Structure 1
Amino acid sequence: MGFHGKNLRKGRHSIPGQIYLLTTVTADRERLFEDWSTSQQVCREIHATDCLQSLAWVLMPDHLHWLFLLNEGSLEQAMQRFKSRSAIIANTSSNRTGKVWQSGFHDRAIRREEDLKAVARYVIANPLRAGLVKRISDYPFWNAAWL
């Protein structure tokens, strides 16, 4: 399934104070985040995104899953800021040029009634389901300090 920005924007509402689960994919599913240094720097940028509060995230080799509370602005603004900054970091770190992220992203608003811990656990268990590690503690690029 491809993520096409123009199709995903239909019906999207950005609500400050809302919790979202977001997925964004690298351009052509390139596995840019297998490189330790690049991944580490992009993880710092996740923490530095100031218009939202991260609840849980995992940076996979070719995509990002991110559970967060939107503090201000819109999802589009937050993601444009993150993608722009992280693309510069990724290209500089890996000595490359070109597009880092696919256009658009997939988001789902999380209802307050949903079990946020279960959603967060689902997010951070991604490396296990992908067969990258046998224990989540063996995968370095995730955080769920909120748990």
Structure 2
Amino acid sequence: MARQPRIEYPGAYYHVMSRGDRRERIFEDDEDRKGFLRVLEETCGRCGWQVVSWVLMGNHFHLQIHTPEPNLVTGMKWMLGTYTIRFNRRHRLTGHLFQGRYKAIPIEEGDYLLRVSDYIHLNPVRAGLVDWEKGGDVLKGYLWSSYLEIAGYGKPGLCAKHKARLLGWCGLKAKDHRAYRRRVSHLAVQERKDRGKGWEELRSGWCLGEEGFAEQILEQVGQGLEKRKKGSWAGGAVQGHDQQAAEAWVGQALKRLGWGEAELRRTPKSAAEKEVMAWALRRQTAVERQWIAQRLHMGYETSVTAAVAKLRKPHSTHRKIMKILALED
């Protein structure tokens, strides 16, 4: 049976879950978890994503994300691939890290986002990873979820843009953390009693929302189905947005360097300026290496790969150019 294409549209919310290959661990220690969160933050920067809630478990993760642009597939490809490369490099491994396709369910905005956030935050309860002996707010002891940020225990982080809205959907004010903690603690006790039952609508179906939400999605994406890119229902909007953002960045970089298109064409493909620009485009945008190689007149895409590898340990000339382009190492 052919795989169903991904559904992408501007302003979409998703519940995303991915599990380790053969259900093996994708996080061996806290450094891996910190590394994954760094990759997630980088993905948000590249693709404009916003995180509503998240949790990291031993062999899987859950994310609730908002994609202002229809670029779920592009972002997930980069995020999972980048984390796999860094995980394998750190642990001296090779091969796949994640199992098959990730799960991505579109969610209707509003109370359903709160429902999914509750499900995500209660994962440690279902897995038996909280200490009931201590009493009180048992989820406070689990460090690897967005609950700590939303409940007011930590500094603003990945969920800063949606925290107030999430509390608002609970009928609470932006800083009413104690009431939110009591609410989730009550849910945790109920979750323990019910043994994880009651989440059937989140575990089945291809979307989550009120009656008519599915029809709205299909109507919104239906016009682009005949011209869709392989594997998604976003049409050509994704590629166009990615290249537009990258083109704008190139224009600003050339201005800072004092270059025009003529200087860009005649400068050697291995010039430090081009290496830094290629590295920055791979880091800050979602365009492919082939596009970067053509736009920067660097020959083949392998030149872009080599530049990115070289910038892992930038030399002094690279650092001077990064300063000119207002880039951080």
| Cα distance per residue 1:60-109 (max 9 Å; x no partner) | 11111100001224322111011011111211222322211123111111
1:45 has 2:39 as partner: yes
Question: Structure 2: which 5+ residue stretches go unaligned?
Answer: 132-137, 151-158, 164-329
Alignment: residue pair count: 140
The 2-side partners of 1:22 and 1:58 are apart by 11
- Which position in structure 1 is the counterpart of 2:141? 138
Instruction: Tell me if structure 2 keeps the 8 A contact 1:46–1:82.
Output: yes
- Which has the larger share of helix? 2
Aligned to 2:15: 21
Question: 1:128 corresponds to which residue?
Answer: 125
In 1, distance between residues paired with 2:78 and 2:5? 21
Identity of aligned residues (%): 29
Taking the TM superposition and a 5 Å limit, the aligned residue runs for 1:1-147 are 7=3, 10=4, 12-50=6-44, 51=47, 52-134=49-131, 135-143=138-146, 144=150, 145=159, 146-147=162-163
> In the aligned structure 2, how far is the partner of 1:120 from the partner of 1:43?
17
Relative to its length, the structure with more strand (as a share) is: 1
Q: RMSD over aligned Cα, in angstroms?
A: 1.8
Question: What amino acid sits opposite 1:45 in the alignment?
Answer: V
- Once the 2 structures are TM-superposed, how far is the Cα of residue 116 of structure 1 from its aligned partner? 2.0
| Partner Cα distance (2:82, 2:68) in 1 | 19
The separation in 2 between residues aligned to 1:83 and 1:124, in whole angstroms, is: 22
What TM-score results when the alignment is normalised by the length of structure 1?
A: 0.84
State the one-letter code of the partner of 2:59: D
Q: Secondary structure at the match of 1:33?
A: coil
SS in 2 for 1:32: coil
Distance (Å, rounded) in 2 between the aligned partners of 1:94 and 1:46: 20
Offset of residue 125 of structure 1 = 1.4
CA distance in 1, matches of 2:28, 2:140: 17
Larger RCO, structures 1/2 (Cα 8 Å, 6+ apart): 1
Partners of 2:56 and 2:15 lie apart in 1 by 13
The runs of 5 or more residues in structure 1 that have no matched partner are 1-5
SS, match of residue 101 in structure 1: coil
- Provide the rounded CA distance (Å) in 2 between the counterparts of 1:141 and 1:30: 18
1:139/1:95 CA distance change after superposition, 3 Å: farther
TM-score by length of structure 2 reads: 0.40
The corresponding residue for 1:3 is none
